[in-house]
């Protein structure tokens, strides 16, 4: 939802029982405008992404979209705030070390961003200690020196990190965005520089076309190899179906 049209866009959802109360709406609008002024001022668009209900506090999520200077697809950045403070912060980098746990976790969000869901086992916080090079004992009982010209390839291991609720929120938001974010075919165009822009000539779909799934595409980076090859063709900027359907 566009920040400037937030009140109007939310009114379209109230008939389905999905909306915000007056206090939430006013504080959310002020928080989004503050976010646009402080952190997302360089983005081309700032959108209200949605609300995720928690047991103690709810999460509100915003998304900024940058089109300029991005090759073949715009850059998305996500922000979050709680229902008890309405102060947006940028989401942390994705922690996918515990993706199997997150995929199997069906519990409710609590609304405590720093709540630990998984802690590393004792002694794993800093990763494994580096191994010291030991010389091999020779026939005379001495140690052979390692050849300085021979470099041994060491396995790089990433230290285990705690899984906190804000990490799970980022993972869930990205999963929903990847699978569910769609746009009508023709709503976006690709320029000759292979940059995506909104299509000013697009006036929307008629009632019949809007009910046909073939007229929609995923608004995400192209993931199939076939579609990636088509983007390398010279005619790619002149087609409408450069996104995956």
Q: Which pLDDT does position 72 carry in this prediction?
A: 86
- Write the pLDDT tens digit of every residue in 133-189: 444 445 554 544 545 454 555 566 667 788 999 999 999 999 999 999 999 999 999
pLDDT of residue 17: 72
Helix ranges, 184-232 (H): 225-231
What number is the average pLDDT over the span 106-121?
A: 86
Q: Which residues contact 166 (CB under 8 A, 6 or more apart)?
A: 80, 91, 92, 113, 114
User: End-to-end CA distance of the chain, in Å?
Assistant: 22
Give per-residue pLDDT as tens, 37-55.
888 888 899 999 999 999 9
Q: Is the dihedral of CA 170, 174, 180, 182 positive or negative?
A: positive
Decide: 184 and 202 in contact? Cβ < 8 Å.
Answer: yes
Q: What is the pLDDT of residue 132?
A: 44
Q: Where are the domains of the chain?
A: 1-118+160-180, 182-245
Using CA atoms, how far apart are residues 61 and 66, in angstroms rounded to an integer?
17
15-24, 216-225, 232-241: which is most confident: 216-225
Q: What share of the chain in percent tops pLDDT 70? A: 81
- pTM value surpassing 0.75: yes
Task: Specify the residue for token string 């965005």.
Answer: 177
């Amino acid at each position: 939802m566009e920040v400037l049209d937030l009140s109007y866009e939310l009114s379209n959802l109230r008939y389905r029982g999905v909306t915000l109360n007056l206090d939430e709406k006013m504080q959310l609008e002020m928080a989004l405008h503050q976010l646009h002024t402080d952190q997302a001022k360089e983005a081309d668009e700032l959108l209200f992404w949605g609300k995720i209900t928690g047991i103690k506090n709810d999460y509100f999520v915003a998304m900024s979209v940058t089109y300029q200077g991005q090759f073949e697809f715009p850059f998305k950045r996500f922000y979050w705030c709680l229902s008890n403070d309405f102060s947006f912060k940028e989401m942390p980098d994705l922690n996918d070390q515990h993706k199997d746990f997150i995929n199997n976790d069906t519990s409710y969000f609590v609304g405590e961003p720093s709540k630990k869901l998984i802690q590393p086992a004792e002694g794993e916080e800093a990763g494994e200690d580096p191994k010291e090079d030991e010389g091999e004992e020779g026939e005379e009982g001495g140690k052979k020196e390692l050849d300085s010209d021979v470099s041994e390839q060491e396995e790089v291991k990433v230290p285990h990190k705690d899984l906190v609720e804000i990490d799970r929120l980022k993972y869930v938001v990205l999963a929903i965005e990847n699978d569910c974010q769609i746009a009508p075919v023709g709503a976006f165009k690709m320029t000759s520089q292979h940059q995506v822009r909104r299509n000013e000539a697009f006036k929307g779909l008629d009632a019949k076309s809007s009910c046909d799934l073939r007229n929609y595409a995923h608004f995400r980076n192209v993931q199939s190899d076939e579609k990636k090859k088509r983007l390398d063709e010279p005619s790619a900027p002149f087609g409408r179906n450069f996104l995956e359907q």
